[in-house]
Structure 1
């Protein structure tokens, strides 16, 4: 088990990188505490798997160092780093039984048979594999095989960390929630550092204590699921987290009032010195925008109302900008004209995509 430190880490697949545009992974300084459950979240191609493979030793970074606790492991092989990695697709020995698959990493390290047997039983119980321990792996379904892969990663109690690279890709959707819950329970039981790569926000937010959001090779925000939802540090985070994502609207700001075209929006913070020449935007999540009758709020034209089961979401147009708003249960619209009410406590101001702090309005 280890605290993992990334020190000025960056990587380019080109042999002679000349600028940020040449780097698949831009400079990262980050610490994962021992025993934490972390997720690397972002779209395909953002650098998540590159970062995971650098941590595991499969890829050597162009520059920077990696430390496990105080030990520099940058030049060490994957085996010497003592980590376990679980990939998108099951890695199992089809001709072996489930019991033999789970025992294999311990057998390779000369762990005594009695301790191996006890550990295999413990992990099999956690993953609900006890009833198939003596069956050949080749006769099992893809999701059961992936459970075996997970078990092979978890069975070694001395690993520095367990790295998961989108491990639920082959799992049927109705089983994913169950396996995510199982992983969370295992993390609590075993107190092992776990880093989980995914492009699925539901997987990340339900598994991780802290989520690292990546975009275009860079880390744009690290925080708890609540922090990412309540206070996105970048418009990308606001748009990527949530379903639907945050409304991002061009605006101008004068003190404690934002203007979308000429429509005023009250703010709880004042912005006296916004950066000159930068793109200024207002961000607010649909959950904090309420559709109401016209004449009382910001005038909008309703394009449609979607019933998504847990809520109704209105797709509207405000001063030429499309946005989403929540629809109260009792609200009924006659025609396509309505109004919006913004909750000022959840309105954020961004300059060139980055959150601007502002100061309390007087």
Structure 2
């Protein structure tokens, strides 16, 4: 009968709803567990601040503005038929875009400030770089002339670090004191792992300056330097060769820290120059787009087109007008993160975000 069929259909529908509810609850719990996981949070934070493609972040922000504006318009939360509202909004955007002019000038000043100097000062800077390269070459027995490629140069320093750590592990076996031997072996193992990590991240690739800087950004070389000093002072009598190797490792740590700081300066110059150019391009485009929208509504009433088409134009124009701010946000947070995580070269390093492998 019809009643029996309806009853059966209702029971099936209820079971499907219960099953759907269970699946939804399980999915929600799974997503919550993934989001709460410390490892996932660190990877997401690292991608957002450093590793993620900046254009992906910019596109996501601009797309969010476009979709959000379009959704609000389709649901009649905002209306594009109100000429005064649209013209006021884009006029305010135009006024705000003028603030990007001094911003671009300031970024350019930061970029070129290090390029000025007298010929003698510039010569001293070049000579200091050559002297530093010769110092690195003296640490590497198999390198007569160090490479000019940043990645290959960093690999040379990492190889010198690993070679000395390997030698230290061999020499540690000669120590009479078991505690000293264990301390030296543990220290050498940690240094070898650190050097291998840097080499592995740079092997078989041709990264830019940021790609070279990224593997060494969170490495705490000052802590390794201090640990070597502590071993030399507190570990008791060391084999003479072990003491020399620890001293060499201290020099290597100073050299790689200096290299990291130098590469950071190069990266900041390149990134700020790129940012100023992108702000100039996007700011001009946003200004022209916003001006065009104001001109479209200049008559005091909206054009005689469908409201949906008009909404798409306004939402798209709003997204374009937002693009300079999205570009500024995406690039500045990475620059600020790089500066923070490499802010204190030498023997003192403030507490900050630790690398994933150190947690």
TMscore range, shorter length: under 0.3
Q: Which has the higher helix share?
A: 2
* Higher radius of gyration, 1 or 2: 2
